[in-house]
Amino acid sequence: MKNSARSFKELMGSSSSSRETRLVLALDISAKLPQSGMDVTRKELLVKALSILERTNEHIAALKINHQLLLPLGLYDLMQAIIKKAKDYSLPLIMDCKANDVEHTNRWIARHYFDAGFDAIIANPFIGWEGGIEPIMSESRERGKGVILLAYMSHKGATEGYGQRVLPEHSKNPLPQYLVFAEKAVRWGADGIVVGATYPEKIKEIHRIVGDKVPIYSPGIGAQGGEIKEAFKAGCTFAIIGRSIYESEDPTKSASEMKEKINEVLREL
């Protein structure tokens, strides 16, 4: 049986090292789909996505796809062109599906995304281990793929769920939910953990728990107000950035500048 944690971490490490970047591109572009002319709009969306990937691939360590792009293009339809192009560039592919269902559904979610060409998926630890995360982990290990867990999202409402205080099993003291998830990420052998860059204090707390065992992926830089310097000083491993790059008039320049900003901070640490 293959070890998912080691194989995906090595894939990310190799890509990051060879390109000298800790930047993950969130290719979350979307388009309104009118009732008529949908095929044309979908093709235009594909062309735009491929163009951005072509112009930024040298500056990114991995590509993250979300539902904005996946739903109109289709997993086994036009999305395959983007997956192939990422593979041509030797870029790891992360599917931000936030898997969050019961056992048989989660297993099929993992199977389809891995069959389609993704190297890792993001999953929500709220569903627990047995009949929740376990089938996703099992599927990933059999295929040498990765699972990244959510610990704290980047939006303001994240505090209502991820920030609530809970009483963990075998504990007498309540803890913030995100710290419980951090402990589980280590215990379950997750390939990564998502912590919003908009909450650098949460990154710092989680980093104290996961250390070098579980890389921290931080979205929310730029459009949502997160800052590169604060995120990496707190313990972030990879910055996930989307709108500041793909909405830019010059995505190549924006990606290059983001990459260099990250590297400058890393040199200071």
User: Would you say 240 and 22 are in contact if contact means Cβ atoms under 8 Å apart?
Assistant: no
What is the mean predicted confidence (pLDDT) over 39-65? 92
Q: Please report which confidence band the pLDDT of residue 257 belongs to, taking 50, 70 and 90 as the band edges.
A: very high
According to the model, what pLDDT value does residue 2 have?
A: 42
Q: What is the pTM of this model?
A: 0.92
Distance CA 64, CA 241 (A): 9
* Beta bridge pairs of residue 192: 148
Give Cα 224 to chain centroid, integer Å: 16
Q: Counting every residue, how long is the chain?
A: 269
- Domain with residue 63: its CATH number is 3.20.20.70
Number of domains observed in the structure of the chain: 1
Q: Which domain holds residue 46?
A: 4-268
According to the model, what pLDDT value does residue 1 have?
A: 37
What is the mean predicted confidence (pLDDT) over 71-87? 96
Distance CA 141, CA 62 (A): 20
Residue 254, token pair as written in the block: 């924006």
Matching residue, tokens 């929740």: 132
According to the model, what pLDDT value does residue 40 have?
A: 57
According to the model, what pLDDT value does residue 7 have?
A: 84
Distance CA 18, CA 61 (A): 9
Which residue, 184, 240, 243, is CA-closest to 214?
A: 184
The DSSP symbol for 230 reads H
Distance CA 110, CA 74 (A): 16
Out of 64, 98, 145, 184, pick the active-site residue: 98
For the question of residue 261 being annotated catalytic, the response is no
